Amino acid sequence: MKTFIRSPRIGLLILLAAVPVCALASLAVGAAGIPLPVLIRNLSHSVLSVEHEILFRIRLPRIVLAIAAGGALSVSGVLLQGLFRNPLVAPYTLGISGGAALGVALAIVLGLANTFAFSLPIAGFTGALCVMGIIYGLNAARRIKDVQGMLLIGVMISFMATSLFMLVMAMSRSEDLHGIVFWIMGSLDEPDIRLVYGLAVVSLIGLGAAYLFIRELNAMALGEQDAHHLGIDVHKARKRLFLLASILTGITVAVTGVIGFVGLVVPHFVRLFFGSDHRYVLAGAYMGGAVFLLACDALARTIISPLEMPIGVITGLVGGALFISALARKRLGVG
């Protein structure tokens, strides 16, 4: 694969520098713009001011969440695209987001949304876990003979979960619809700091766990038969990679709602710049996803300021435009 960066290590350093730059820019923009000198003063000193409260209580947790969610979804996309050897597979293709959305919708309709702490994230992860369990169980029982069958099962479950979700919406009261629609459009405005930093820890652990499968991912890129000849237990690797990617996606969706296109677009561009060696692709995807979601969040907070656009709308528009542009220039291989 022809790449645009001769040294992947230089590319990783560029992305590593881009993350704090985008984070600082995201801290400065919004309904209440903060000039750079004021921003630096509030970050370097404990200053009792309105800007200090905005930075540390609102924007900094939001930035941490953007980095964690963007990184987790992108790493999940890399794992699934490597597992299925299909560039159109995304973390939401297998019905994980549909299951999470169905779980949240049921929780809202049944009046469980405010009954206890973390009720919606728990409901979302439970829905995602049910979908994961069905696909993983069929694979573990060897009733799915190959990855294509596994992919088809996931797509069908996604359609079924989406249909049930729409049925729940159709039967919901009008006051419940707002909460359901707001959740499925995705949001980085998470008030509970424990969920924010919890997802950050999970995403970093997931990235570290993904590096345990570098050999399997690089071998499976050649095809399952070649990977088997190289001594890879393909069936076991398939189950573990799917489980890791699903857990990362399920937990992220449970906290942020459905934020599309991150796990589809970012892995493509990372491979475009870094090649197919997963030693560089995984780290590049994590940082690339963080930069992409930080940039989209900054746009979401400034385009119609002082109002805020749903982050899922921005990622869909920006990610789709970038993907179509790259395809039109024949820079991305999808065959």
Between the alpha carbon of residue 284 and those of residues 78, 122, 179, 247, the distances in Å are: 10, 30, 35, 20
CA distance linking residue 60 with residue 68, whole number of Å: 12
Q: How far apart are CA 166 and CA 160, in angstroms?
A: 10
Amino acid 267 reads P
Specify if 176 maps to a domain: yes
> What is the chain's alpha carbon radius of gyration, rounded to the nearest angstrom?
20
In order along its 335 residues, the chain shows pLDDT tens digits of 555 566 788 889 999 999 999 999 898 887 777 877 877 877 777 767 777 788 888 889 999 999 999 999 999 999 998 888 887 888 888 888 888 888 888 888 888 777 776 788 888 888 888 888 888 777 666 666 677 777 888 888 888 988 998 898 888 887 788 878 888 888 898 888 999 999 999 999 999 999 999 998 888 888 777 777 778 887 788 888 888 988 898 889 888 988 988 998 999 889 888 888 899 999 999 999 999 999 999 999 888 877 888 898 899 899 888 888 877 765 554 44
Angle between helices 234-256 and 96-109 (to 10 degrees): 40
Q: What local confidence, expressed as pLDDT, does residue 335 receive?
A: 42
Instruction: Map 59-110 to HEC letters.
Output: HHHHHHHHHHHHHHHHHHHHHHHHHHCCCCCCCCCCCHHHHHHHHHHHHHHC
Is residue 137 exposed (0-12), middle (13-18) or buried (19+ Cβ within 10 Å)?
exposed
Give a yes or no: residue 333 inside a domain: no
In which element (H, E) is residue 175 found? helix 174-184
Query: Is 1 within a domain?
Result: no
Q: State the pLDDT at residue 54.
A: 83
Residues in the chain, total: 335
- Which residue's structure tokens are 């991305």? 332
Look at residue 102 and tell me if it is in a domain: yes
Helices and strands, counts by H and E, the chain: 15, 0
Q: How many domains does the chain have?
A: 1
Which tokens hold the place of 28? 């400065």
Q: Rounded to the nearest 10 degrees, how much is the dihedral formed by the CA atoms of 212, 215, 217, 222? A: 180
Q: Is residue 335 part of a domain?
A: no
Assigned domain for 286 exists: yes
DSSP string, 234-290: HHHHHHHHHHHHHHHHHHHHHHH----SHHHHHHHHHHHHH-S-HHHHHHHHHHHHH
pLDDT of residue 4: 59
Cα separation, 46 vs 148, whole angstroms: 55
Predicted structure pTM score = 0.89
Contact predicate 239/121, CB 8 Å: no
Q: Is 142 helix (H, G, I), strand (E, B) or coil?
A: coil
Using alpha carbons, select from 195, 231, 213, 223 the residue that is nearest to residue 281.
213
Q: Among all chains, which residue has been given the structure tokens 């690089």?
A: 218
126 lies in a domain? Answer: yes
Task: State the CATH number of the domain containing residue 164.
Answer: 1.10.3470.10
CA angle 246, 250, 253 (to 5 degrees): 140
3 domain-assigned: no
Place of tokens 């995403």: 203
The confidence score (pLDDT) of residue 331 equals 52
Which domain covers residue 111, as residue numbers? 8-53+60-328
pLDDT at residue 297 in the model? 92
> What residue type is 111 in one-letter code?
G
189's CB contacts (< 8 A; 6+ apart) are: 62, 308
In this structure, are residues 125 and 100 in contact, taking their beta carbons and an 8 Å threshold? yes
Q: How far apart are the first and last CA of the chain?
A: 13
